[in-house]
């Protein structure tokens, strides 16, 4: 009897540790992916602002905010430079670069023993770079260089992590966070562009249309990848197909979903708790939808609803990950 109690006590302790570590690594990764997405989209938008003849500046800015999750508390001030500065440095906004980097560093600090020294150094360097007294001066001198430096810092952290971490459960939770955040962000961006750009066929051959579509590809670091598949003929239908259904490009939603599925399988087979039918079915449903759909079928139906459904399924997968890997009960842990 005493032995059984001791076993249960040890299981309870290890389950709590696993859920804490999984939670922090998952959110560290999601926050950094979100910071990169904000910096990248802001950089592209600021470049497009140089062409002010075709579209209202405020309209472009509002589309950017909708693509980032529509933070309604960020009101239009009339000054694009000051609003761009807020989107980078104001930690009051959950989508700001500073808020996300702060969140990533705090989560990394809580699991310092689970990540490599090189990862911690890179993340710490990025944190201090953004909070440096010279950061805002650099931003004023060259917005593009400042944003590129932030994105480079995040890429360095990700590359160092892939090179220096054991590719066990912790690394898999980092992959889960990165690619679930990326799939959701790409679906959100496509839904916004579908409503405001793809739905206007009269603009198809205009210079405005071309610039905006190239901008969309660059928001996903996809311009060169797209051109390798379709040449430089920039068409809305092909962009949708590439960013939705391509299985080889890291920012395409299908690629992200396949990576999420692979990460869940790996967690299960490296000693984690067995994935229940509910989470396997949730990921499998989204994977099948993207694997067997054709762009003709998507365009023949309600494209906006299709993209919104992807976002809803991503949220559902997040809830299931939390239910079964973070907030699970001790009874379910003992049953494994």
Domain check: are 239 and 275 in the same one? Answer: yes
The pLDDT value recorded for residue 330 is 43
Is residue 329 over pLDDT 50?
A: no
How would residue 17 be classed by pLDDT, with cut points 50, 70 and 90? very low
Percent of residues, the chain, with pLDDT higher than 70:
85
Q: Are 107 and 24 in contact (CB under 8 A)?
A: yes
* Residues contacting 137, CB < 8 A, separation 6+: none
The pLDDT value recorded for residue 139 is 87
Domain check: are 198 and 108 in the same one? Answer: no
**What is the extent of the structural domain holding 297?**
167-336
Pull the structure tokens for residue 198.
Answer: 């793809």
Average pLDDT over residues 23-49: 95
Domain check: are 180 and 144 in the same one? Answer: no
pLDDT in tens, 138-155: 888 889 999 999 999 999
The pLDDT value recorded for residue 199 is 66
Average pLDDT over residues 65-85: 81
* Residues contacting 208, CB < 8 A, separation 6+: 51, 54, 55
pLDDT in tens, 153-176: 999 999 999 999 999 999 999 999
pTM assigned to the model: 0.89
- Domain membership of residue 227 (yes or no) is yes
How would residue 72 be classed by pLDDT, with cut points 50, 70 and 90? low
User: What is the number of domains present in the chain?
Assistant: 2
Domain check: are 38 and 179 in the same one? Answer: no
Sign of CA dihedral 74, 77, 78, 80: negative
The CA distance from 243 to 96, in Å, is 24
Domain check: are 110 and 196 in the same one? Answer: no
Pull the structure tokens for residue 110.
Answer: 């809580």
pLDDT in tens, 239-296: 999 999 999 999 999 999 999 999 999 988 775 455 567 888 889 999 999 999 999 9
The CA distance from 255 to 244, in Å, is 9
Pull the structure tokens for residue 75.
Answer: 């009101």
* Residues contacting 257, CB < 8 A, separation 6+: 179, 183, 283, 286, 287, 290
Domain check: are 70 and 200 in the same one? Answer: no
Domain check: are 147 and 179 in the same one? Answer: no
Average pLDDT over residues 5-19: 43
The CA distance from 323 to 328, in Å, is 6
Is residue 201 over pLDDT 70?
A: no
- Domain membership of residue 13 (yes or no) is no
The pLDDT value recorded for residue 15 is 41
Question: What is the DSSP code string of 46-80?
Answer: HHHTT--SSS-HHHHHHHHHHHTT--TTS---S-H
Domain check: are 86 and 118 in the same one? Answer: yes
How does the average pLDDT of the chain come out, rounded?
A: 86
Domain check: are 101 and 205 in the same one? Answer: no
The CA distance from 173 to 175, in Å, is 5
């Amino acid at each position: 009897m005493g032995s059984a109690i001791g076993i249960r006590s040890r299981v309870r302790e290890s389950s709590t540790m696993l859920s804490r570590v999984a939670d922090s690594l998952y959110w560290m990764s999601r926050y950094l992916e979100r910071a990169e997405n904000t910096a990248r989209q802001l950089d592209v938008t600021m470049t497009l602002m140089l062409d002010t003849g075709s579209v209202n500046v405020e309209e472009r800015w509002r589309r950017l905010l909708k693509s980032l999750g529509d933070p309604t508390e960020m009101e239009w001030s009339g000054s694009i430079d000051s609003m761009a500065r807020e989107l980078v440095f104001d930690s009051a906004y959950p989508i700001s670069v500073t808020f996300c980097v702060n969140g990533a560093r705090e989560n990394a600090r809580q699991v310092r023993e689970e990540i490599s020294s090189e990862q911690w150094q890179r993340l710490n360097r990025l944190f201090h770079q953004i909070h440096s007294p010279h950061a805002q001066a650099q931003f004023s001198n060259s917005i593009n260089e400042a944003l590129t430096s932030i994105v480079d810092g995040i890429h360095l952290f990700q590359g160092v992590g892939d090179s220096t971490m054991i590719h066990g459960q912790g690394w898999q939770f980092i992959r889960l966070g990165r690619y679930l955040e990326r799939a959701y962000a790409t679906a959100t961006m496509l839904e916004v562009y579908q409503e405001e750009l793809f739905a206007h066929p009269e603009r198809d051959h205009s210079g405005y249309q071309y610039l905006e579509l190239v901008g969309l590809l660059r928001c996903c670091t996809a311009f060169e990848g797209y051109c390798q598949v379709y040449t430089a003929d920039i068409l809305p239908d092909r962009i949708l197909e590439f960013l939705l259904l391509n299985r080889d490009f890291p920012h395409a939603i299908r690629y992200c979903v396949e990576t999420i599925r692979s990460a869940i399988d790996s967690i299960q087979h490296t000693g984690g708790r067995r994935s229940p039918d509910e989470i396997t079915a949730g990921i499998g449903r989204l994977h099948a939808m993207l694997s067997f759909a054709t762009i003709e079928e998507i365009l023949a139906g309600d494209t906006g609803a299709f993209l919104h459904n992807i976002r809803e399924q991503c949220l559902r997968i997040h809830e299931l990950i939390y239910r079964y890997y973070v907030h699970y009960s001790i009874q379910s842990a003992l049953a494994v």
